[in-house]
Amino acid sequence: MNLHLITPNTSFFAPEIPFYLLLGILAGLGGILFNRGVLASLGFYSRFGQISLSWRIGLAGLVTGFALVALPPVFRDNAGLRELLLAGDANWQMVALVFCIQFLLILFTYGSGAPAGLLVPTLALGAALGYLVGIWEHHWLGLSLATTYARVGMGAFFSGVARVPITAVIIVFEMTTDFNLVLPLMIVSVTAYLVAELFDAGSLYDKLLEFKGIHLAKQGTNQGPWLELKAADVMQRHVETLSSRMRLDEALQAFSQSSHRGFPVLADGKLVGILTQKDVANLSQRGLNGDRLVAEAMTPAPITTYSKDTLAHVLHLLNHYNLSSLPVVEGRRLVGIITRSDIIRTEAAYLNTQEDLAVPNSEPSQIIYCIRVPETGQGRLLVPLCNPKTADKLLQMAVAIARDRHYEIECLHVIVVPRHQPLTEAKVSMRVGQRLLLQAMRLGQAWDVPVHTQIRIAHNLSSAILQTIQDRHINMVLMGWKGGTTTPGRVFSRVVDTMIRQAACEVVLVKLNDQSHFERWLVPMAGGPNSQQAIALIPALTSLSKTPTVNLCQVFELEATKPDTTSLTKAANFLQQHLHGAVITTPVHATSVPDAVLEYAKHNQSDVIVLGASREGLLQQVVHGNIPATISRHSQQTVILVRAIST
């Protein structure tokens, strides 16, 4: 279109702005209709894929030819048609006919696959639409000619189709070289763009690529990890805390033994304050001595963040309030803490790509059934349920632990779907899972323990459990296992090994036998956090017994003439204060720890063996063996493995 060869007679007046806005609105709506028509035409021709391209083009040419024969002669001359619109020699009936016929023929021919573009057709349609609005404006105001609106309409319609308002302004200005058109072009192009995006977002060219199976991901600005990661991804889940009823002398001792500059303060499991080094430094000024309570010296109602807040929000709080650490809460329950060193570590890992901070490639598990009750506990115990035969015993243990620690119970049933099948398309039955979860809820109601339930579908059982641990801020996992595995490279089993190595909470694994009573308990002592955690669980677990007897044994080498029984004595003193049954300590001399424990359990007719789990790698297993795994594999008793929280 050589518009610069046509003598321009354009103008722009303020009273015309409503007409230009109307033109922009009509162009935006027309652009939506045009885009959908093009895609519909492509879809129509795609149904006849067996017909060759030449035949499809021939069909489009045949229909176009018949239409032009039936129309006035002006439709057979594209150059004359353009002059008709831009020179102002047409009436509104002719222009309306031009717009409708051109609109339909363009859609019909483009879908056939004929080599043609859409730029010139959209400009022609825009000129016709603008001409119609210009005729209306000239009839009411008489300020500008319809040809001015025809030129402006070209940019408006192209903007509504391609969603590029600035480009539309530049194209028409380059074609006309008329500065009087710049302002009305800006008005109509932006209006058409906004209207089109409001009702049907996306350019025609993007939609054409998607129709061909090409999806272009939109790339935003690189924000680093600040908007990608949440507080739950960075926080430390194992938090050193102080009790509000603790004496300040004990709190000062905690500061001297730790590198932290502040400790969250809890009361009945809820976050009530924070005690910082600044608070400690001001004790004398406030007249507080070491006999006073932490509650009197702490900063109440501290600044906190939620686990789903972005890292950018966390960083803002740390900087704005000049904090060294920030507690992460869920309601009033403390679930973690973030320090400045955690922020630095995260940024360093992101820059050096030392850690995988992206979303895992595997499809995350999805919740398909969920029941929540009021969250009144001081922690949360996760119980994965799958076997109806062992569910009752596991739930009894879970209730005993939850009552002792004032925890809530989170019951999980996972339905595993084959990896080749998308989770959103999987058809599964929840009958077994709902029956197990209903059993758990009834037991929780009977013992006044809050029980949450959920059913997930996943490609991998371990991933689903780990995801639940993270999402629900689990403090402990209690789950059953068979007691052995034949899988090469595995110590216990695929799922159990994963829990022991990766779960960010305490892990308790139970291998149940056929016995229905737990009276005689055997706890082999080996030192370390896992054994200590096993001892800490005994008071809760023995509540399932009527008259429990706990045997503490420690295996020493045959050559040890004076064995160190300090750990035995310490554990016995603890249990005697918290048990209503007998506690017996026995040092044992033997060359093999597993054989000695198994023989002792058989001789004393033990019902349950409680062990600390091992994190050793496969090479260490081969060289030294895994004592808990060996005992659990050869024992006929119920075996409970305990792994303390990772620190």
pLDDT at 41: 84
- Give tens-digit pLDDT for 126-149: 888 888 888 888 778 878 787 788
pLDDT at 624: 41
Rounded to an integer, what distance in angstroms lies between the CA atom of residue 62 and that of residue 482? 75
pLDDT at 446: 94
| Residue 216 DSSP label | P
Does residue 221 belong to any structural domain of this protein? no
How many CB atoms are closer than 10 A to CB 79?
Answer: 9
pLDDT at 216: 66
Does residue 256 belong to any structural domain of this protein? yes
* Sheet containing 379-384: order of strands: 366-371, 451-458, 407-416, 379-384, 476-480, 506-511, 638-643, 608-612, 520-524, 549-556, 582-589
Our CA angle for 420, 422, 428, nearest 5°, is 100
Say yes or no: 188 and 260 in one domain.
Answer: no
Query: Is residue 620 predicted with pLDDT exceeding 90?
Result: no
Query: Is residue 218 predicted with pLDDT exceeding 70?
Result: no
Query: Is residue 394 predicted with pLDDT exceeding 90?
Result: yes
> Which of the pair, 479 or 47, is modelled with greater confidence?
479
Domain final residue, candidates 302, 318, 352: 352
Say yes or no: 179 and 278 in one domain.
Answer: no
Does residue 220 belong to any structural domain of this protein? no
| Of residues 247, 283, 282, 281, the one with CA closest to residue 265 | 247
pLDDT at 425: 83
Class of residue 173 by CB neighbours under 10 A (exposed 0-12, middle 13-18, buried 19+):
middle
pLDDT confidence tier of residue 361, bands split at 50, 70 and 90: very low
Say yes or no: 465 and 549 in one domain.
Answer: no
CB 466 within 8 A of CB 479: no
pLDDT confidence tier of residue 508, bands split at 50, 70 and 90: very high
Query: Is residue 276 predicted with pLDDT exceeding 80?
Result: yes
Overall average pLDDT of the 331-354 stretch: 77
pLDDT at 368: 94
- Give tens-digit pLDDT for 565-581: 888 889 999 999 888 88
How does the average pLDDT of the chain come out, rounded?
83
Q: What is the DSSP string of 287-315?
A: T--TTSBHHHHSEES---EETTSBHHHHH
Say yes or no: 30 and 134 in one domain.
Answer: yes
Overall average pLDDT of the 187-196 stretch: 93
Query: Is residue 81 predicted with pLDDT exceeding 70?
Result: no
What's the number of CA atoms in the CB half-sphere (13 Å) around residue 408? 20
CB 629 within 8 A of CB 493: no
Query: Is residue 4 predicted with pLDDT exceeding 60?
Result: no
What are the helix (H) ranges across 203-306?
A: 204-211, 231-234, 248-256, 277-281, 294-297
pLDDT at 625: 47
Say yes or no: 550 and 582 in one domain.
Answer: yes
| Residue 247 DSSP label | B
Overall average pLDDT of the 231-258 stretch: 85
Say yes or no: 461 and 546 in one domain.
Answer: no
Say yes or no: 381 and 301 in one domain.
Answer: no
Domain range for 387 is 360-480
Q: Which residues pair with 384 in a beta bridge?
A: 412
| CATH classification at residue 44 | 1.10.3080.10
pLDDT confidence tier of residue 187, bands split at 50, 70 and 90: very high
Does residue 501 belong to any structural domain of this protein? no
Domain final residue, candidates 436, 461, 480: 480
pLDDT at 62: 82
Query: Is residue 483 predicted with pLDDT exceeding 70?
Result: no
Does residue 224 belong to any structural domain of this protein? no
Q: What is the DSSP string of 532-547?
A: HHHHHHHHHHGGG-SS
Domain final residue, candidates 162, 179, 211: 211
pLDDT at 489: 41
| CATH classification at residue 442 | 3.40.50.620
Say yes or no: 595 and 475 in one domain.
Answer: no
Place of tokens 């243990």: 397
Range scoring the smallest mean pLDDT among 294-298, 351-355, 361-365, 586-590: 351-355
pLDDT at 438: 95
Rounded to an integer, what distance in angstroms lies between the CA atom of residue 82 and that of residue 449? 81
Query: Is residue 53 predicted with pLDDT exceeding 50?
Result: yes
pLDDT at 415: 94
Does residue 562 belong to any structural domain of this protein? yes
> Which of the pair, 112 or 379, is modelled with greater confidence?
379
3-class secondary-structure state, position 381: strand
Does residue 559 belong to any structural domain of this protein? yes
As a whole-number percent, the residues of the chain with pLDDT over 90 amount to 27
pLDDT at 220: 53
pLDDT at 87: 64
pLDDT at 370: 95
pLDDT at 403: 94
3-class secondary-structure state, position 567: helix
Query: Is residue 551 predicted with pLDDT exceeding 90?
Result: yes
- Give tens-digit pLDDT for 531-550: 888 899 999 999 988 889 99
What angle separates helix 182-199 from helix 146-162, to the nearest 10 degrees? 40
Rounded to an integer, what distance in angstroms lies between the CA atom of residue 455 and that of residue 460? 14
pLDDT at 240: 84
pLDDT confidence tier of residue 355, bands split at 50, 70 and 90: very low
Residues in contact with 130: Cβ distance below 8 Å, sequence separation at least 6, in sequence order: 23, 146, 149, 150, 151, 152, 153, 154, 156, 157
Strand 299-300, strand 366-371: pairing:
unpaired
> Which of the pair, 209 or 541, is modelled with greater confidence?
541
| CATH classification at residue 255 | 3.10.580.10
Say yes or no: 557 and 598 in one domain.
Answer: yes
Say yes or no: 433 and 338 in one domain.
Answer: no
Indicate whether this model's pTM tops 0.75.
no
Does residue 325 belong to any structural domain of this protein? yes
Could you list the beta-strand ranges (E) of 447-606.
Answer: 451-458, 476-480, 506-511, 520-524, 549-556, 582-589
Say yes or no: 366 and 346 in one domain.
Answer: no
Query: Is residue 180 within a helix (H) or strand (E), and if so which, with residue range?
Result: none
Measured CA to CA in angstroms, residue 306 lies from 234, 326, 330, 335 at distances of: 12, 10, 6, 9
Overall average pLDDT of the 485-492 stretch: 48
Please tell me the total count of domains within the chain: 4
Query: Is residue 263 predicted with pLDDT exceeding 50?
Result: yes
Say yes or no: 252 and 191 in one domain.
Answer: no
